[in-house]
Amino acid sequence: MLQTETKPKHYQKVIRADRWARRLITFGGYGIIASIVAILLFLAYQSLPLAKNAAIKTLFTFPASQGPSKALLTGIDPFQEIFYILDEAGHVQFYQTAGTKPLSEAQLPLSGNEKILAAAKGSLSSELFAAGTDSGRIITAEVRFQLDYSESGRAVIPSLSVKEIWKIPAAGKAASSNAASSDTLPDHVEKLAFSQNEDGSRFYAWVDHQGALWVRSYDAEEEVDYLHPLSQYLGESSVTALTISNHGENLVAAAANGIMRWFDLKDLEKAALRDEWSISNGPASALSYLLGDQAVAIGTAAGAVEVWFPVRTPSNLMKFRQIHSFRSHSAAVAQIYHSSRNRDFLTIDAEGAAQLHYSTTGKTEVQFPRPEFSIAAGAFAPKSDGILLVDAQKRFTLFRLDNPHPESTVKALFGKVWYEGYPGPEFVWQSTGGSDEFESKLSLIPLIFGTLKGTLYALLFSVPIALLAAIYVSQFAPFRLSRIVKPTVEIMAALPSVVIGFLAGLYFSPLFEQYLMSTFVFLILLPLIFLAGVAAWRAVPESYRMKIRPGFEVLFIIPVILIALQASASLGHPVENFLFRGNFQQWLYTTWGITYETRNSFVVGFALGFAVIPIIFTVSEDALSNVPKSLTSASLALGASRWQTVRRVVIPAASGGIFAAIMLGLGRAVGETMIVLMATGNTPIIDFNPFNGFRAMSACIAVEIPEAPVGGTLYRVLFLTALLLFVFTFVLNTLSSLVGERLRKKYARF
Amino acid sequence: MERRISYFKQKGDSYIFAASLGLVISLGMVAWIIFVILSRGLSFFWPGDTVLVKLHNDSAYLGEIWESKTVYRLDAEGDEHEEEQFQMKIGNRDLYGRDFIWLNRADVAQESSPPDAVTIERREYGKFFGFIRAVQIGEERFEQPGAVLFEKAREAHRQATATRGRIKDTQKKLNKLMQPLANLQREITLLQLSPEAKTEKGRQKLAELQKEAESREQSIADGYGILNQELERLTLQNRSIILTMATAEGAEKEIYFSEIVRFFRPNTMSGLAKAWLYAGKLWEFVADEPRESNTEGGVFPAIFGTVVMVLLMSIAVVPFGVMAAIYLNEYARQGAMIRFIRLSVNNLAGVPSIVFGVFGLGFFIYAVGGSIDQFFFSDKLPEPTFGTGGILWASFTLALLTLPVVVVATEEGLLAVPRANKEGALALGATRWQMIRKVVLPNALPGILTGLILAISRGAGEVAPLMITGVVKLAPTLAIDGSFPFLHLDRKFMHLGFHIYDVGFQSPNVEAAKPMVYTTALLLIVIVVLLNLVAIYFRNRLRKKYRGSTF
């Protein structure tokens, strides 16, 4: 205490400055650690939600028992504020999710005690539905949610508008075996499927009380109806379920004997049977086309849940095949609803158990809590962020569905997945497609393969060259030469990769294509001419040879290369004529079925060499030079030749460093972006053929992340790709550093 | 005995030759790449002689001969024939639809270099090759061929260029006059679109704004009228200065002089005149804006963007990197932890640059930038200010990328300071900070400089992380300009490296753009290599010092 008081004032200032400097610098030091950790954590944090399972949370339950009639259909607005229930009596009741009383009511125009028997929604973008009654009428109506902005904020105002009322053809007209017995019954619409396409054309499929299946295609442009009786295809068995695809082009009908039939409705004037197949787990009790209009979710009376879609057979026919099966229900599946955003679908069985599945991955994501009563109707919220269930007592439960990345399971990212339209399970990367209904294919395997393929070719080319050069420079080259070489190699390392990529794409690849044969001839000729040169060298009398100074080797090798270049340039064409009928690329295609791409893996391997050679050279040259002089001197003194010393003493001693160098080079090749982006065609294929390109992880990130919606699945998958790159290169580099350190310690005692 | 020695001497010699093969190939690759870039990059601006080629089928082409090659073709009998082909740049894109044509040497009937052939560089549609037919200045029309006509054309071009300059000035004045009104109108449209417009308050505000807009419109009406008239007059004036050209086949084409950048008769020019023109074009390349979707003109905005970005990056990375290095060397207790940190920093240098780009995009742009927008620029939302790629975020991303370079180089510099000096300072009673400031830092300066230069060189050449953090094909405005606050950190920018990628791979006319890319690549390489040479020089000096100071 006393001491500080006696010290002069400026000394206190010095002390304070010292303290502040210490704090600041320590802060800077910790900052760097923090930033490394931050990068790793942030990448992980961004890609972690991919692994998250779907979760539901009960937002609201509400006893809405108004009247005894059964609910048939339900739906909710995009903001999840208002929902509606359509019941048997044609009442449409609107409720507020925040309130307890019905908000308002509307009524479908039913006559007397007419009852609705079946109802179906028919649009992905609006709450359009069709209802079939027991007096043979099909009423098409739409629930609208209008937004109104006022002082108090946004309000959603629901309304009901009837679009069309249509009477089905009278009973008895359909040729049916039991027509006489049921003639007394009024016309019924027993089962109904409905869809409206983007032109406004509408498709209805229904089963009447006689079990006859009908399709009505309404052409909105021409305002014409086409009626197609389909009973002749059905045989004896009755129809148990129907579904029409979202754009109205396909109808799938299930029969009680387990036979499924696929009808093509594309041509409005026709309804043609395209495929017939049978399912094994009992007859289908519920059907639904999923988003994308390819896959059909099938729920059977035995409770099985399956997804089928058409696959092209070798004879070029489209045949439905079972692709996925999901966790089954304990009772017959009664209803299936599909999401209008992704390939989620909801199955509800007769006992009220509900499950959420995702078609692409074949995963059952959520099992809903079992309700007291059976479920009468369900619906996805328009943004697929909620699910509404209405039970037999007209009580509803709204669940928040938290399922942002259903398409990215471990299996989908790293395994084979059978995508819609593909002949079998495959590794596919195709992140975006033409429409919102596109099924994104996010297998990282083609990208990882691409990266490894590029790296392999790069290392095949650059490792021998770089190591030879390093051995020469460290062991044999005169000082004058190595003094020039080292900065030159450093400049090679500093060449911007965009320049190398540009040259590879626009200069090397056309050149390589032009001199393709010459390149191969060169690869064969070079060793031959080299051997010839060495033989000639040995023929020189020893007395002359002894006078040659070190460094002469370079002067010797330059003419060898030049001769080989010249010879192969002029020989390339004759060889191509002789061996491949004048056109190597044609020959490749006809003989091996290999198509030649201008920007191919050879070019990438060569171009990546510019990036990799300097690294391998510098690090291994260091390691080779640092082999203690005492070791080499001892070897030479014992009579070993220069090369024997290098081969038996220097290289083994420096092998760790050489390994480290190759690891570093590997890391560089794996992470290089611009070169692979510019020098390959960037097609994500899995193919070892060196004459075509690939898509590397790094290039894929660079191309796709600017367009990826923030927080979306693609965005996160690309973050995961970046994380993989980070971890991979970090591990490689750590490995090489550790090896290098051990090496230094090992030879420190010499 | 003698035999054995010779055996040993002989043994392995061929391996040594083989080892030198590796070296020669590596050096050859560097030499090749430099040669290609140099030869193609430098020759582009040299005004090439134009050649008039008449073919046997009576078609004629005027242009520059670029390349030639031999192709092999099979005839009907299966015999092979060699064909000499050459590539001509025939320009006149608006007439022919393509710039280049491959011709067979055998088809050529006559080849000449007409002295009166004129090469025109235009603001649109690229070059025009042809002969001058007539020059029209207002009512006057000159048609008699010869040197006089060319002089008249020069005069007309001077006039048109001057008028063009005045048009630009007038437009600038007009814009300045209109700016406040345009801003007001933008505010009105935004308000109309927002839900606020439906409320009473919103309606009131809207009415007020509209009233203000009206009064402002009236107040500038006079000035606007005068300027507009002037603009119309000048435009008309320039529309009457016309050059009529004839192509090689005699078709006529009228070109406004105001659309011409420059024109010359390459076949009559002396070497000196060509050199002068070459210098002018080189200057244009460095100092001018790009034209024709970046395939012509200059790269000034790209140079400017690169420089500003690199400067911002240096400001961010140097203090941080130097602090980290000093901490690791002077403050931290050396142990396993510090070894691990040092290892991690080294390894950070090997992490792919695109990973940093992804981090920059997710963290700087979306997380930090998004929050800044919410707090400070919420009136502009949903249009992002800092929540989108920009020069600041790109610089920060590159700063992170180059951090290991700076740390490693600085540490090397710090290690070069003799222990005795440091301990001497401490023994004399200096605090640690005084010791660092007076003894360590001055001696470590070359190391810090080396790190800085290497970081700059790395930053100037890096493209992948920039592509996703703010570089664009064509930035309408520079990051630094005369309008407040002068340094616009949120703006997108152009970059030389990205320019190469973009023009070489994304441009609609790659063949015509290629020479430009070579030149840009040359410029980039020159910058990077120079920076590296300086860094190597500094480092060598440092190492010498280090070697000499072990006592």
String of DSSP letters for B221-269: HHHHHHHHHHHHHHHHHHHTEEEEEE-TT--EEEEEGGGEEEEE-GGG-
On the question of a cis peptide bond just before residue B382, with omega within 30 degrees of 0, the verdict is: yes
**Token pair for B53:** 């080629």
* CATH match for B308-548 among 1.10.3720.10, 3.40.50.11890, 1.10.533.10, 3.20.20.60: 1.10.3720.10
Q: If pLDDT is split at 50, 70 and 90, which confidence band does B3 have?
A: very low
Per CB-CB distance under 8 Å, the chain A contacts of B18 are 468, 530
Distance of CA A384 to the CA centre of its chain: 20
Interface of A with B in 504-563 (CB under 8 A): 505-507, 514, 530-531, 533-534, 537-538, 542, 546, 553-554, 556-558, 560-561
A3 class by beta-carbon count within 10 Å (0-12 exposed, 13-18 middle, 19+ buried)? exposed
Computed from CA positions of residues A286, A287, A288, A292, in that sequence, does the dihedral angle turn out positive or negative?
positive
Strands, E, within A220-268: which ranges? 224-229, 239-244, 250-255, 259-264
Tell if the CB–CB gap between B468 and A702 is shorter than 8 Å. yes
Sorted by sequence, the CB contacts under 8 Å of residue B137 that are 6+ apart come out as B152, B155, B156, B159, B240, B241
**Token pair for A569:** 């340039």
Homologous superfamily of A445-748 in CATH? MetI-like (1.10.3720.10)
Q: What is the pLDDT of residue A749?
A: 59
Tell if the CB–CB gap between A610 and B29 is shorter than 8 Å. yes
Interface of A with B in 44-103 (CB under 8 A): 46
Tell if the CB–CB gap between B200 and A151 is shorter than 8 Å. yes
B230 class by beta-carbon count within 10 Å (0-12 exposed, 13-18 middle, 19+ buried)? middle
Considering only the beta carbons, identify the residue of B403, B501, B524 that sits closest to A674: B501
Per CB-CB distance under 8 Å, the chain B contacts of A671 are 350-355
Evaluate whether A712 touches A50 at the Cβ level (below 8 Å): no
Interface test with B, best of A13, A25, A642, A721 (most B CBs within 10 A): A25
Tell me the C-alpha distance between A341 and A124, whole Å. 9
- What residue of A is the nearest CA neighbor of B25? A465
Selection from A648, A631, A622 nearest residue A743 by Cα: A622
Among A212-221, B353-362, B371-380, top mean pLDDT goes to B353-362
Percent of chain B clearing pLDDT 70 (strictly above): 95
Least confident among B2-6, B349-353, B385-389, B458-462: B2-6
Helix (H, G, I), strand (E, B) or coil at B276: helix
> What is the pairing mode between strands B127-137 and A344-349?
unpaired
Evaluate whether A111 touches A133 at the Cβ level (below 8 Å): no
Question: Is residue A664 within 8 angstroms of chain B, CB to CB?
Answer: yes
Q: What is the pLDDT of residue B380?
A: 67
Considering only the beta carbons, identify the residue of B11, B326, B353 that sits closest to A644: B11
Q: What is the pLDDT of residue A503?
A: 92
Q: If pLDDT is split at 50, 70 and 90, which confidence band does B498 have?
A: very high
- Amino acid letter, residue B501: Y
Sequence spans of domains, chain B: 51-133, 141-284, 308-548
Helix (H, G, I), strand (E, B) or coil at A68: coil
B51-133, what's its fold? SH3 type barrels. (2.30.30)
Interface of A with B in 358-417 (CB under 8 A): none
Distance of CA B326 to the CA centre of its chain: 36
Per run of 10 residues, the mean pLDDT along chain A (length 750 residues) is 59 87 86 84 90 84 69 88 87 81 83 86 89 88 85 80 85 46 64 89 88 87 87 83 89 89 86 87 88 90 91 88 90 91 90 90 88 86 88 84 86 89 88 81 92 93 94 87 85 89 91 88 90 84 72 81 89 82 80 83 91 92 88 89 87 88 91 90 84 90 89 90 92 86 71
Interface test with B, best of A472, A584, A710, A715 (most B CBs within 10 A): A472
Q: How far is B290 from chain A (nearest CA, A)?
A: 19
DSSP state of A204: E
Tell me the C-alpha distance between A460 and A463, whole Å. 6
- Amino acid letter, residue A463: V
Helix (H, G, I), strand (E, B) or coil at B406: helix
**Token pair for B79:** 């015999």
Sequence spans of domains, chain A: 445-748
Considering only the beta carbons, identify the residue of B16, B29, B363 that sits closest to A643: B16
Per CB-CB distance under 8 Å, the chain A contacts of B198 are 149-150
Interface of A with B in 438-477 (CB under 8 A): 464-473, 475-477
